[in-house]
Chain A
Amino acid sequence: MFKILHAEFLAPGIKRFVIEAPRIAHKQKPGQFVILRLYEQGERIPITIEGADPESGTIAIVVQSAGKTTNLLNSLNTGDSILNVVGPLGKPSEIEKFGTVVVMGGGVGTAMAYPTAAALKRVGNRVITIVGARNKELVILEKELRECSDALMITTDDGTYADKGFVTDKLRQLIENGTRIDLVLAIGPIPMMRAVAEMTRKEHIRTIVSLNPIMIDGTGMCGGCRVLVDGKSEFACVDGPEFDAHRVDFAVLVQRNSMYRAAEQKSMEEFQHDPKSQVEAVHAGQTGVCAVEGDGR
């Protein structure tokens, strides 16, 4: 069991959790992720690590409510627990001095881009950060990003905060203004990452994206997270999660992520029908199993 030491909403539907996980806190590097399972009947889902404090033995994750599992997770509060958290998984981000790096975060992807942006800044890069959200309420981590960026640009789809538009509009401006860009890191919804990739491909700017396909074990054992990179299957859990955006087949990623849509909708409807009893089931499914097959700690 992994205790939630602190939980707070950063924006509607976006919650940040600080979790007691000393082993992971000690080892994690920017760009890596954990896989968690809430309760005995739960599925395993990958979530990028947003931050960690090795001294206090904690990690932080930021979760956006989307399906049943993320909704259940975001119903948990300080003092609750997560049954299983395993990691850190995946290859860490490549952190070195590239020169000028544009870090782009779309929606909750902003939280995943943040630790890498901070690390890139620490090694001496000029970091230009562009974040986008649907509206003002959903802009997250603005203060933190401002601290680790030489420039921070914000867009909202509806113009309720900062500039109206998309993150790609800002990237285009930078390119058109003749800004020298040595690397782009884009993390967010697939359409956003794909649009960034198309824009930088023409300009021959090296671009990295962090992919989030469906996973189970996270150690390369099941092969469910395979993505097409240069026409070949690679496993996002061990070969990624970060890949060269210009070599990723985004259409296949979209297609594979839709594989369980029908079941996901059914689970979500069940959750919405009676959220309270679903959350109670999580608590029940955490206590019932520990004596039988929980860990040995």
Chain B
Amino acid sequence: MTETPKQPSLNVLHSKPVPMKERMKIPRQHMLEQSPLERAHNFTEVNLGYSEELARQEAQRCLECPKATCTIDCPVGVKVKEFVQLIVAGDYMAAAAKIREDNVLPAITGRVCPQEDHCEGGCLMGKKVQPLGIGYLERFVADYEQGHMDISNITKAPPTGKKVAIVGSGPSGLTAAGDLIQKGHQVHVFEALHTPGGVLVYGIPEFRLPKQIIREQIDYMRAMGVEFETDVVVGRTVTIDELMGEEGYDAVFIGTGAGLPQFMGIPGEHFNGVYSANEFLTRINLMHAYEFPKYDEPMVDFRGKNVAVIGGGNTALDAIRSALRLGAGKAFILYRRSEAEMPARKEEVEHAKQEGIEFQVLAAPLEFLDDGKGWLAGARCQKMALGEPDASGRRRPVPIEGSEYEIPLAVAVIAIGTSANPIVQSTTPGLNTNKRNYIEANATTQRTSKKGVFAGGDIVTGSATVILAMGAGRRAAKSIDEYLTTPGEW
């Protein structure tokens, strides 16, 4: 997938460090990507990664700030300065090991983390020129490691005899599992679906995060000793109390994710062709509906037809770009605010535009229309103007009277967010929840109201990002380790 790495010339390898004032002059290196015209018709990864040469050039830009804001702004605290200097030194495996001290999923975060909000957002160079390409470098190192490591050689920590159950194998659960196994605890991960990975598998499309990458990261965790058990819906198949009781776990971490899709409550949402983003993406990603009939799971055939996704987040963009790849004639985003308020990553918006996705902003559907037989045929929409900022700090959409219009549609995907899945909460006595039914957990220790039970990620905060969930998993692992080694008051 990556370009054939050019062997760096010896004078680069042994050259003296680039003087500080010269570093600012090196332009940020672009990552290679598939051309928009080509990629709009396939599910192969858009970004192709750095070559070794590009990675080293980029790494040389790092100013090695005494106060590393990049690390401070990283939810899992990756030692950016150190791993980047190891790239400069040409020791990529050491760079990978340095990242792994804080981040057990580098190939994933290197691809889907919104670096602009974290490490790169804090990068000093970004104030003057463009920030260091930390995400690109992380990805390069992780992919290099994958191609060169021998997972049979992983050293395991001496066993502590303590058992921890992880509920959910998404970003928070995997991170907690990875950190805990390195402390020598026995770690068993329960997953409700048939494949571990959670939202990384069912939510994020192949063209942004290839499934092979997730498999490799999970295989690595298996090699570290983490056990995975799929097909277990905790709360139904087994309860938290049973895990802590007859199954003998000393602690449980709940990382079950966001959960239930929200609908708009407008007429016609039950028509054939109206999907939640969760279902649309799950069919494509987890169930491989885009490979029908090689895979049995079908998808409505909308080749050449209009597809709209309602919403402006990363999930909305993942859905509409998937629809384009499935052959939609016209694929567009319908968003009630303006582009400035969109929560999606800028890079994803740019990629989508290059591919030919249209953005109809300041508009929202009022109702779905059918063909008289229950199949979606269109939507009646209304235009919006921006009013005063609302609770989210973004300007509120205000309907414009008399601006209604109709559009023809074969498929509509609703990507306006999720609410808490109640299965674990409703079957776990003593586990406190807030008024929106998310689990209450301490923001530092991730402890819940129930002794020995910790929680983190979207099931605590509501929908957020992969890296924020990983941060919670990391804090939980630290806290669980403290609890298991020095139990005291809860």
Contacts and interface: CB of A to CB of B under 8 A. Distances in A.
Contacts of B230: 84, 294-296
A41 B269 contact: no
A89 interface: yes
Nearest to A215: B279
Interface string A237-274: 01000000000000110011011101110110010000
Contact of A43 (B228, B261, B297): B297
Contact of B236 (A88, A216, A226, A260): A88
Interface in B216-238: 218-219, 222, 227-233, 236-238
B374 A252 contact: yes
Contact of B231 (A84, A221, A258): A84
A296 B278 contact: no
B421 interface: yes
B287 A216 contact: yes
A221 B374 contact: no
Given A44-B287, A86-B231, A256-B270, 10 more contacts: A27-B236, A41-B288, A69-B296, A221-B260, A224-B276, A251-B374, A255-B270, A256-B272, A294-B230, A295-B231
A61 B81 CA distance: 58
A293 B216 CA distance: 10
B415 to A, nearest CB: 12
Nearest to A216: B282
Contact of B194 (A68, A83, A292): A83
A217 B236 contact: no
A99 interface: no
B215 interface: yes
Size class of the B contact interface (CB-based, 8 Å): 35 or more
B337 to A, nearest CB: 24
A86 B229 contact: no
B371 to A, nearest CB: 11
A233 B423 CA distance: 18
A266 B298 CA distance: 10
Contacts of A84: 194, 230-231
B292 interface: yes
B194 A222 contact: no
A297 interface: yes
Given A86-B237, A260-B300, A221 B282 contact: yes
B287 A258 contact: no
Contacts of B219: 292
Contact of B283 (A88, A216, A251): A216
B6 to A, nearest CB: 32
B423 A238 contact: yes
Contact of A217 (B215, B271, B282, B373): B282
A88 to B, nearest CB: 6
Given A256-B270, A294-B230, A223 B260 contact: yes
Contacts of A3: none
11 contacts: A27-B238, A43-B295, A86-B233, A216-B287, A216-B297, A217-B202, A217-B282, A219-B421, A223-B261, A223-B276, A256-B374
Given A86-B237, A223-B263, A297-B229, A255 B423 contact: no
A95 B416 CA distance: 38
Contacts of A44: 194, 287, 297
A221 B421 contact: yes
A226 B272 CA distance: 11
Contacts of B374: 251-252, 255-256
Contacts of B222: 296
B482 interface: no
Contacts of B237: 23-24, 27, 86-88
Contacts of A217: 192-193, 202, 282
Closest 10 CB pairs of A and B: A263-B298, A255-B374, A222-B279, A296-B228, A223-B276, A86-B231, A295-B230, A84-B194, A43-B296, A260-B298
